[in-house]
Chains A and B, each alone.
Chain A
Amino acid sequence: MSSETKQILTTDGIPLEVSLKKAERKNKIKAFLLVAPLLFFLIITYVFPIGDMLFRSVDDKMVTQMLPKTFKAMENWDGQELPDEEVFAAFHEDFIKLVEDKREGKLSTQLNYTKNGFKSIIKKLRRASKKFEEGNYKEQIMSVHKRWADVEYWRAIQRRAPEFTGQKYLKGMDMYVNEEGKIVSVEEDRRIHRVLWLRTLEIAFFVTVFCFLMAYPIAHLLATLPMKYSNLLMICVLLPFWTSLLVRTASWMILLQQQGIVNDFFVGIGLVADDNRPEMMYNKTGSYVAMTQILLPFMVLPLYSVMKTISPSLMRAGKSLGGTPFVAFWKVYFPLTIPGIGAGCLLVFILAIGYYITPALVGGASGTLISNQIAFHMKSTLDWSFASAMGLMLLSGVLVIYWLYNKIVGIDNIKLG
């Protein structure tokens, strides 16, 4: 506004522009205050804990704090030959303290992660250290076990000196830092995690494809049938959607077991011999079948809501212009359903990639996914930092897909049937 033009004033004598801005700000604050309780609740209970996972996954202070003097003494060690007496003495001092606090077991677990073989030699050292005489610790420790005289083991200890480490992430991809400090893959037969990642992607991908192939025709039927019939058929989609996941998994366990109904049927029609019933559960087949059926509604609903908006006259127009029904479908109808396809596929893929319960129950050993591995480390091995690292690797994958989803469909457009 140029200075010559007369400013419009409100009745209070305040310029209108200022007054409007003030009102706008007030409204903004009001709107924000409404969102604030939920936002802060989620930030504290959910967003920060995910950040905490990030911290845990790289945190490696435990060993650093257990062997402070050792690592101090190791600063001058070049790692070529066995360390000097100074390092051994410092290690002895730290170790005695750990034994006093009864924490040497934790140290052995931690060091064993870095290099196998620490468990037994730490046990031996604890027993022997009671009879140690003062001075010349290098000789005394080395005489406990020949591995204590192996420079490899001392290098392994030195590698645990930093407070932060990315080794859990490397472990998640079956890699580690070797003695020379290079990142290398573990031996072929021990690459369990890569197999799991690939299997997770494979199962999520094929489940998405199967869901799409099955959902497209029925979504089309639901969208084109008269309301009277489509509402009735919609129940077939919505009832499984609302039914407990465990109930649906249970029904698949009954159906797919060796003496189950599906096998009975196959035997009945002579497809397989009675004494040669195929194993359909506790393997990949079980995961595929059950996950496809469970995730199918998530594909049908977005497809249906898009197809519902496509006018049938478009197809008629296509046909009247000389296209066969197939051409009309392929050139007119199909392109219009692409937003629904994108939404459905990404939704199903995101859900499938993080699936846990169903694969754990019907997947057996060959049908489990990365989520099962995370749960295993959370509950059984208690290696929480590794579970966190794998969780975050999975999460970053999901966020990329989520971002794509947002680009293609927009998160505001999520429909829940």
Chain B
Amino acid sequence: MALPKYTEPHYRIWHYVYLTICGAVFFFLIAPLFVIFPLSFNAEEFLSFSEGMKRLDPDAFSLRWYKDMIYGTKNPWGLAAKNSFVIAIFATIGSVILGTVAALGLSSRHMPYKGLIMAVLISPMIVPLIISGVAIFFFMAKAGLAATHTGIVLAHIILGTPFVVITVTATLSGFDHSVTRAAASLGSDPVNTFMKITLPLILPGVISGGLFAFVTSFDEVVVVLFLAGLENTTIPIQMWTGLREQLSPTILAVATCLIILSTLILVTAELLRRRSERLRGINQ
């Protein structure tokens, strides 16, 4: 954004003020995440930079909190990580299947009451989580599914499907329906057409919806707090408990791992989004 040569001085000053403001906001957005990295390697049990760390003394850094996270005797992170992944994977599969199929129906121009149904389908995204938590808890308690993995997976399917519905409907909005008609005219049955023609074309949308569903489930804490028993503990629950009781550096080690995971997910999602836009010819 270079300024033209003829710019008057006070606009020039304003332009630099504007860039400074932008810089400050970007800093505000991203900097807090980077505080966690160095502190997770702290050799001491404090959550602030020690004198040694400020001098970059190698002795002030250690991997003890990572060791504690993995080998710590009383640490529940192993179980929590296992539960988190199992729940998130099943919730993602459920959300993707239900959401994609529903999005196919919603994108059909024959769909009756489209607005109303869409509103119901994405309501779990709009209703505050605390209310969803209370409602889902009442249902699971009645169905005898409270404090079970099944109950939590079902709850996360509820919360995850809106994202799949939205991303897949968006992908389908640029979908050329004549290709499916072509397939049908060549004698392909609908299921075959879907698997061989439609699915490969909308796959980027499906996967990015799936990523949203995965992250939703993996990060979700409000509903799980109502539903989980001791055996169903997840990473967010452990972090929540840890943050409320004692902010230990082990939590920062876990947080660092989570930031790395979210970076990976971000990169995947971005690549998929660009691919999807290229396929739909939106890219300029």
Contacts and interface: CB of A to CB of B under 8 A. Distances in A.
Contacts of A264: 48
* Interface of chain A, main secondary structure: helix
A53 B138 CA distance: 8
Nearest to B212: A416
Interface in B233-284: 236, 239-240, 243-244, 247, 251-252, 255, 258-259, 262-263, 265-266, 269-270, 273
B243 A42 contact: no
A236 B11 contact: no
A353 to B, nearest CB: 7
Contacts of B239: 244, 246-247, 250
A217 B251 CA distance: 34
B127 interface: yes
Contact of A38 (B161, B226, B251, B263): B161
Of the candidates B124, B130, B226, the one having the most CB atoms from chain A within 10 angstroms of its own CB is B130
Interface string B98-137: 1101101110101110010111111110111111111111
B144 interface: no
Contacts of B183: none
A273 interface: no
Interface residues of A, number: 92
B22 interface: yes
B32 interface: yes
B117 A217 contact: no
B25 interface: yes
A47 B120 contact: yes
Nearest to A237: B29
Contacts of A233: 26
B228 interface: no
B18 interface: yes
13 contacts: A27-B108, A39-B117, A45-B154, A46-B124, A246-B236, A246-B240, A246-B255, A247-B33, A254-B252, A378-B137, A398-B126, A398-B128, A412-B118
A225 B1 CA distance: 6
Given A37-B102, A250-B36, A356-B222, A52 B22 contact: no
B139 A48 contact: yes
A318 interface: no
Interface string A246-265: 11111111110101110010
Contacts of A259: 48
Interface stretch (A28-36, A72-80, A165-173): A28-36
A414 to B, nearest CB: 6
B222 A357 contact: yes
Interface string A323-334: 001000000000
B134 A374 contact: yes
A68 interface: no
Nearest to B267: A235
Given A28-B110, A32-B111, A41-B98, A46 B123 contact: yes
